[in-house]
Structure 1
């Protein structure tokens, strides 16, 4: 059990800053149990955590063992207090309600997945249960398109917000994951089968995976990628040497000249010329040249020079940047505002703060 949790922590740390290695900006999977710790202080032998703003001012230090980002309304975040105790806090860091859980994660579509007495259920923003813990496991990604994946043995099903099974337990669905754009998918007999929220087949694809989603389109494969719509149609009518999901109408894609940005017609709006690239926001993208990363406006104007080993997702006008093994913050003019000193940085999602982690001694 502990080994599995340690693996989950590594996923958390990787996703927290290294966006071009994984599409999702931050995982919803909780980290492992901490070492000795209490509600009054984070266990330093495990790690130090808190929030930092653009001035370098730190807060919520010495309080929690691990912090996950604020989620959608009602703007609550899951925090780890000790090895088997989780709670939920408001943007000011105060507890949202008295409830404590063995594990928890952020709210999605009004509910959060929690574990209590070894079972999984769904809690409301006031701390009461919408569905009491009854499942062997529930996907930490929570609800998407009104459904959440639950598991029994090596089978998975999908339940609604009342805990009723909408798509029955099936071996093929095991770890299929959350719905995106009204679809999820699983592999069978060499094909990828996409189903809707009623469990009905939408389309099949014989294209190689993985399949990633963004902005109403699926991108299939890691090499010679194809972009598909909800009916499985090749909407661009062309393939790219590599490509990533769309975000705010643009996607990073590669041809024989390098990486650039394409629009939803498949046209390069930022000419392919970089070693790697990724969209960050509606108006910013990151690119790598000579092994270093910088940031550009989608108009092509460079705002952060090619000086950094990695770039994270911006928030509140600040961009996480990595130098060597440590993360700091620079503003969107390229000025370094917070010197690199953190093991990881990712947005708290209040447009003011970033969650930081420092490994304990």
Structure 2
């Protein structure tokens, strides 16, 4: 009986400790600075109540992602977990943040990949490693380019002069000055005969043959003739093209929105911003003017709004052309997840899509939000804020 009672108590204690540990791992840690230590330029981490959870000891920190945070000490990059432990013993000269439990790192001239436990996915053996795209990353070895997968396996040997990041099925590769396409097995599916290519978008790829651009399908068949002086890939069913100094659009059948504009930007949310002799406006996919040409500058539509500038000031219109946020900002970014970076009277902050100031316009500079935090500069010091405007610093 006594044994059962003791066992139950022990089990309860173990479960309680496990719950505390799990809570620690799931708790959000915020990059943090404290006023009395600011002269040291050191960083640590706090909880949401600004209680220190990792002491001020780092020269630079980034928010936690995939359970680890990148930190910088004495000019070298390392990674820590939430128990303040380094995930390995290596000091890197360069390191990315983790994405899908992979980080690209460099020590000396050797590039490689590690996982979020600190274990090497590849040796530090490459001349260069780019980020993963569609499950594959570009690697450079002895001056040639190939691809590795998430497990670090070399799936396409480094034998190309240049390569593009992989699309869903194919990517562009260059051999002896000419471009073609390979599949994910490394087989050439479209011969290397083009002066330039872009990856496939919406089923077609932009290619340059001789001195003109056209479009091919995934079988390598020419579906839109070589006729353009410049072009970009398809988006929303249309591709931006340039002919004899004027810009327009072409659809997948080769029909044109006549090249008559001085500048065009690809369609987004059903509208494209285009420029006549002096001003910017917006057209639909039939080429009809939907929003008149009356803006000195304009951005594309994001989240239902487009930035427009007149008299040196930016505001925002909706897709009917109605001004919904007055033109009073010196700079304005596009909306991202409901927030807009703006600059006014030399200071930066954030407004929402109604034009309401949600994070004070008082900072010398603000970066966009990532992992729920934004790095901002205030009184000549870098700190982090959350989307409520909470500053993770103790003044």
Q: Which has the larger radius of gyration?
A: 2
The answer to whether the Cα contact below 8 Å between 1:185 and 1:192 also exists between their aligned partners in 2 is yes
2:296 aligned with 1:271: no
3-state DSSP of counterpart to 2:197: coil
2:357 aligned with 1:335: yes
Map of 1:227 onto structure 2:
249
Distance 2:210 2:241 in 1: 17
Map of 2:192 onto structure 1:
169
Q: TM-score, normalised by structure 2?
A: 0.59
3-state DSSP of counterpart to 1:239: strand
Question: What is the deviation of 1:285?
Answer: 1.3
Higher strand share: 2
Distance 1:293 1:276 in 2: 9
Alignment RMSD (CA, Å): 3.9
2:152 aligned with 1:131: no
Query: Which residue of 278, 300, 307 corresponds with 1:286?
Result: 307
Cα deviations by residue, 1:264-306 (Å, 9 ceiling, x for unpaired): 1223333322111121424121112223333333343433743
Map of 2:133 onto structure 1:
108
2:282 aligned with 1:261: yes
The answer to whether the Cα contact below 8 Å between 1:313 and 1:346 also exists between their aligned partners in 2 is no
The answer to whether the Cα contact below 8 Å between 1:51 and 1:61 also exists between their aligned partners in 2 is no
The answer to whether the Cα contact below 8 Å between 1:240 and 1:255 also exists between their aligned partners in 2 is yes
Question: What is the deviation of 1:254?
Answer: 2.3
Unmatched segments (≥5 aa) in structure 2: 1-58, 79-93, 378-395
Query: Which residue of 133, 145, 148 corresponds with 2:171?
Result: 148
Question: What is the deviation of 1:260?
Answer: 2.0
Question: What is the deviation of 1:160?
Answer: 0.5
The answer to whether the Cα contact below 8 Å between 1:69 and 1:355 also exists between their aligned partners in 2 is no
- Would the alpha carbon gap of residues 117 and 238 (structure 1) be closer, same or farther in structure 2, given more than 3 Å must change? closer
Map of 1:200 onto structure 2:
221
Map of 1:23 onto structure 2:
none
Question: What is the deviation of 1:217?
Answer: 0.8
Unmatched segments (≥5 aa) in structure 1: 1-46, 53-58
- Would the alpha carbon gap of residues 97 and 132 (structure 1) be closer, same or farther in structure 2, given more than 3 Å must change? farther
3-state DSSP of counterpart to 2:246: coil
- Would the alpha carbon gap of residues 156 and 224 (structure 1) be closer, same or farther in structure 2, given more than 3 Å must change? closer
- Would the alpha carbon gap of residues 77 and 267 (structure 1) be closer, same or farther in structure 2, given more than 3 Å must change? farther
Question: What is the deviation of 1:159?
Answer: 0.9
3-state DSSP of counterpart to 2:299: strand
Cα deviations by residue, 1:194-243 (Å, 9 ceiling, x for unpaired): 22222221121434324353212111129532210123211x45733321
Map of 1:98 onto structure 2:
120
Map of 1:121 onto structure 2:
146
2:183 aligned with 1:157: no
